Structures are given as structure tokens and as C-alpha cells.
Amino acid sequence: MSVNGQRYDWESIKVTMPQGQVVDIQAISYKDSLDVEHVHGKGSRPRGYGTGNYTASGEIEIDKEEMQILLVGLSVLSGGKGYMRHKPFPIVVEYKNDDQPMQVDVLKGVKLTEFDEARKQGDKSSTVKIPFIITKGINRNGQEAISG
């Protein structure tokens, strides 16, 4: 823990995509969840809980120019079947600076689901939002959300 030192910020993040590409992204978000609900019996209070499915997903935002680099890697992963037919791949997100220990999140089995592009008058840059699902879960600095 750093006291009065540098915290993880955008400059400390490095994202590695398919084929080992380091892609200059504008934003990344990812989340995972486990369905949990109350189990009721006699009376109005829960008697316990039950768990359901685990899911993980996310989104990157990337410059149009950087997207061209990503598309080349996806085409290779698809075996020439088109970039939307790519095989799932990991995204590695590293948080590193001089005052903190390195943290590494691995998004395992990423499958991109769409490419969302929009432009309007006055835009200063062209970005693409790319949502994805994570088929094999998130490993947060060596910790798995669920096993199996």
C-alpha cells in the first residue's frame, strides 16, 4: 500500500490483445457476476441462498486507426473466416507503476460481439466501442472468481 505515492492511473495500464499485440485503447471496462438469490421456506425470512450462473463481460473503446491493427489479429485468429469468427483469446490488463506492486487481470476466452461505430459533426477523433463476453472468466491478480 502506497501512502502519499502514485496510485494506479490510466498511464499505468497496459492492455495486450490477440497475437501479443499491445493496442492503444481509449477505455476498457469489465465485470463478472454470480447469480445469487434467497431460498425461502416457512415464514417470510430467507432460509439460505442459492447460486446460479457465473457470467463475465466487458467493453473496450479504441481509435479507428488502432482498430485496423486489432482486425488483422482477429483475421489470423479466425483462420481467414472473417474477424467476427475469431477464436476466443485472452486480454491481459496490467496495472504497473513505481509506487505499487504490479497487478495483472487476465480476461480469459474473450469473444468480441459487435463493433459499434458512430460519428457526428464536431468530433475530434473516431472511436469504436467493442463489447465482448468472457467465456472462461476473469483472473484478478492470480485469483479466480469461481473454480471449474
Instruction: Tell me the fold of 10-41+56-142.
Output: Pnp Oxidase; Chain A (2.30.110)
34-38, 45-49, 50-54, 77-81: least confidently modelled range: 77-81
Per-residue pLDDT band at 132 (split at 50, 70, 90): very high
139 Ramachandran zone, left/alpha/beta (phi>0; psi -120 to 50): beta
Instruction: Report the predicted TM-score, pTM, of the whole model to 2 decimal places.
Output: 0.84
- pLDDT score, position 9: 74
Report how far Cα 128 is from the mean position of its chain's Cα atoms.
15
Residues contacting residue 92 through CB under 8 Å, at least 6 positions apart = 15, 16, 104, 105, 106, 107
Exposed e or buried b per residue across 117-130, where buried means at least 16 C-beta atoms within 10 angstroms of its C-beta: eeeeeeeeeebbeb
Q: Which of 148, 128, 129, 127 is nearest to 137 (CA)?
A: 148
